[in-house]
Amino acid sequence: MKILIVDDSPDCSLLAKTFLKKAGYNDIITAQSAKECFELLGMDGPESEPNNTNIDIILMDIVMADVDGLEAVRKIKATASVKDIPIVMVTANTDDNNLQTSFEIGAIDYVTKPVNKIELRSRVRSILKLKEETDRRMKLMRELEEANRKLERLTFIDGLTAIANRRHFDKSLDKEMRNARRENKVLSLIMMDIDFFKKYNDSHGHQEGDDCLKQVAKVLDNVAHRPGDLAARYGGEEFAIVLPDADSENAVKIAEKARAAVADLKIPHGNSTVLDYVTLSLGVATVKPICDKAIPQDLIHAADKALYLAKENGRNRSQTSEDL
């Protein structure tokens, strides 16, 4: 445990340091002024920089020549990187006002001068044990929060393709539909199928089929690059891209970009009657701002209808819907 003693009296610092060293605390540093204390804590650098001093406790003299201990504590507690370090005031003046002020500005305890060996050791030991337990609990809390974030992310990610799953798609489309209605903007949706994917699975096997889905998903995720765009696995070999604030013309361009990008993968597909590699059929639908009664299912239905037409018209193409 690392202890910082701040006292403008070298004799007082030496006495406190000696008492603590005999109690087994060997990592002790001293500062003879508030300014030197601030430098040791790294408070003279950019405020955004984290505290790398690893100070576990500060013993702060109240009466010092340049900046008194109370003002020093105020500045420390106002600095995000070091505000959580416990501070014990060291004072020869046990005036109630001084002590009350010390606690009000963030000090955790006090020790009287001349320093009593037993008192100093017991106060420091108790505070360090409390800090150790607090640090342990904070670490566990951070680990729990991180685990919860990962778990939450997993609930929205498709386990195979690592893009958004159906649940995330549904929530996102509903949110974007409400945003479009509120802000009087357009919203487009692309629904797409891998052409003859069942035949691909039958001839290449499910392992190759899974790999094909992963490659297609990665391409679609790259195509959906604007802020707010969302590429998702809708189910099986069917994918979707939600396009906030994209009109029909721009949505078709993105659909064609997706179609061409998947074709450029040149994933062999000997059982396709379209080409000898994997292709996509895509349906595009757009809800206009004036359509304030549309719901997400309307947009999905329109995009699905356009997708059906794309398949009927030969596949490996995109088709728009005029239903909305």
Domains of the chain: 2-149 (3.40.50.2300), 166-320 (3.30.70.270)
54, two tokens: 């690893």
Query: Known catalytic residue: 237?
Result: yes
- The pLDDT of residue 48 is 45
What pLDDT does 52 receive? 55
273-283: b (≥16 Cβ within 10 Å) or e? ebeeebbbbbb
Angle between helices 117-156 and 166-183 (to 10 degrees): 90
Q: Which residues of the chain register pLDDT less than 70?
A: 45-53, 289-292, 323-324
pLDDT of residue 49: 52
Placement of tokens 């509903």 in the chain = 174
Per-residue model confidence (pLDDT) at position 46: 58
Contact 281, 317 (CB under 8 A): yes
Residues 299/277, Cβ–Cβ less than 8 Å: no
Tens of pLDDT, residue by residue over 114-133, are: 888 999 899 899 988 888 88
- The single-letter code of the amino acid at 78 is A
Write down the pLDDT at residue 172. Answer: 95
d(CA 271, CA 101): 82
What secondary structure letter does DSSP report for 41? T
Count of residues for the chain?
A: 324
What's the pLDDT at 150?
75
Task: Indicate the pTM of the whole model.
Answer: 0.60
How far apart, in whole angstroms, are the C-alpha atoms of residue 300 and residue 59? 66
- The active-site residue out of 133, 143, 237, 322 is 237
For residue 322, the SS3 value is coil
